[in-house]
Structure 1
Amino acid sequence: MQFAERLNNVETSAIRELFKLLGKPGIVSFAGGFPDAALFDVEGMKAAAQAALTEEPGAALQYGATEGYQPLREQLAGFMHGKGVADVAADQLIVTTGSQQALDLLGKTMISPGDKVIVEGPTFLATIQCFRLYGAEVISAPVDAQGVQVDVLERLIVEHRPKLVYLIPTFGNPSGATLSLERRKRVLELAAQYQVLVVEDDPYGDLYFDAAPPPSLLALSKDVPGSREWLAHCGSLSKVLSPGLRIGWLIANPELLSRAVMCKQFSDAHTSTFAQATAAQYLKAGHMPAALAKVRKVYAARAQAMMDALRSELGDAVEFTPPAGGLFLWLRLTGEGADAGALAKQAIEQGVAFVPGAPFFSQNPDTATLRLSFATADEARIREGVQRLKRALEAVHA
Structure 2
Amino acid sequence: MPAPVSRRTPVPAVAAATTPLAPPPALAARVRSVGSSPVREILALTERPGVVSFAGGLPAPELFDTGGLRAAYDAALGAGARRALQYSTTEGVPELRAAVAGRASARGLATGAEEVLVTTGSQQGLSLLAAALVEPGDTVLVENPTYLAALQSFALAGARLVAVPCDGEGIVPDALAEIVARERPKLLYTVPTFQNPTGRTLPAARRAAVAAVAARLGLWLVEDDPYGELRYEGSDIPWLAAHPGAEDRTALLGSFSKVMAPGLRLGWLRAPAGLLRAAVLAKQAADLHTSTVDQLAAAHYLGASDLDAHVGSVRDAYRARRDALLAGLPGALPAGSAWNRPEGGMFVWARLPEGYDATALLATAVAHEVAFVPGAPFFTGPADPRTLRLSFTAHTPAEIGEGLARLGRAIAAHPRG
Same fold (TM over 0.5): yes
CA drift of 1:157 comes to 1.0
Q: How does 1:1-398 map to 2 (within 5 A)?
A: 1=24, 2-85=26-109, 87-218=110-241, 220-221=242-243, 224=244, 226-314=245-333, 316-334=335-353, 336-397=354-415
Tell me the secondary structure at the aligned position of residue 45 of structure 2. coil
CA drift of 1:54 comes to 1.8
CA drift of 1:284 comes to 1.1
- Assess if the C-alpha contact under 8 Å between 2:359 and 2:374 holds in 1: yes
Measured in 1, the distance between the counterparts of 2:332 and 2:364 equals: 17
Measured in 1, the distance between the counterparts of 2:366 and 2:232 equals: 30
- Assess if the C-alpha contact under 8 Å between 1:359 and 1:365 holds in 2: yes
Q: Which one has the largest radius of gyration?
A: 2
Measured in 2, the distance between the counterparts of 1:48 and 1:84 equals: 27
Measured in 1, the distance between the counterparts of 2:175 and 2:356 equals: 27
Larger displacement relative to structure 2 (42-51 or 273-282) = 42-51
Alignment deviations for residues 320-356 of structure 1 (CA, whole Å, 9 cap, x no partner): 110000001111112x232000111110011101110
Percent identity between the aligned chains? Answer: 45
Tell me the secondary structure at the aligned position of residue 166 of structure 2. strand
CA drift of 1:315 comes to 5.6
Tell me the secondary structure at the aligned position of residue 165 of structure 2. strand
Measured in 2, the distance between the counterparts of 1:199 and 1:206 equals: 18
- Assess if the C-alpha contact under 8 Å between 2:361 and 2:414 holds in 1: yes
Q: What letter is aligned with 1:97?
A: T
Alignment deviations for residues 162-220 of structure 1 (CA, whole Å, 9 cap, x no partner): 111000000000010000010011111111111100100000000000233311112x2
Change (3 A) 1:188 1:93: same
Q: What letter is aligned with 1:185?
A: A
Q: What letter is aligned with 1:5?
A: A
Measured in 2, the distance between the counterparts of 1:23 and 1:397 equals: 26
Measured in 1, the distance between the counterparts of 2:79 and 2:48 equals: 45
Alignment deviations for residues 18-38 of structure 1 (CA, whole Å, 9 cap, x no partner): 122113331101111110111
Tell me the secondary structure at the aligned position of residue 254 of structure 2. strand
- Assess if the C-alpha contact under 8 Å between 2:68 and 2:305 holds in 1: no
- Assess if the C-alpha contact under 8 Å between 1:122 and 1:142 holds in 2: no
- Assess if the C-alpha contact under 8 Å between 1:191 and 1:231 holds in 2: no
Tell me the secondary structure at the aligned position of residue 20 of structure 1. helix
Measured in 1, the distance between the counterparts of 2:405 and 2:166 equals: 29
The CA RMSD over aligned residues, in Å, is 1.2
Alignment deviations for residues 339-381 of structure 1 (CA, whole Å, 9 cap, x no partner): 0001111100111011100000121111110001001011111
- Assess if the C-alpha contact under 8 Å between 1:44 and 1:287 holds in 2: no
5+ unaligned residues in a row in structure 2: which ranges? 1-23
- Assess if the C-alpha contact under 8 Å between 1:92 and 1:251 holds in 2: yes
Measured in 2, the distance between the counterparts of 1:144 and 1:298 equals: 29
- Assess if the C-alpha contact under 8 Å between 1:320 and 1:331 holds in 2: yes
Q: What letter is aligned with 1:340?
A: A
Measured in 1, the distance between the counterparts of 2:148 and 2:294 equals: 26
- Assess if the C-alpha contact under 8 Å between 2:127 and 2:153 holds in 1: yes
- Assess if the C-alpha contact under 8 Å between 1:93 and 1:250 holds in 2: yes
Q: What letter is aligned with 1:367?
A: P
- Assess if the C-alpha contact under 8 Å between 1:174 and 1:371 holds in 2: yes
User: How many pairs does the alignment contain?
Assistant: 392
Q: Following TM superposition, where does structure 1 have runs of at least 4 consecutive aligned residues deviating by more than 6 angstroms?
A: none
- Assess if the C-alpha contact under 8 Å between 2:349 and 2:387 holds in 1: yes
- Assess if the C-alpha contact under 8 Å between 2:334 and 2:411 holds in 1: no
Measured in 1, the distance between the counterparts of 2:233 and 2:304 equals: 25
Measured in 1, the distance between the counterparts of 2:410 and 2:336 equals: 12
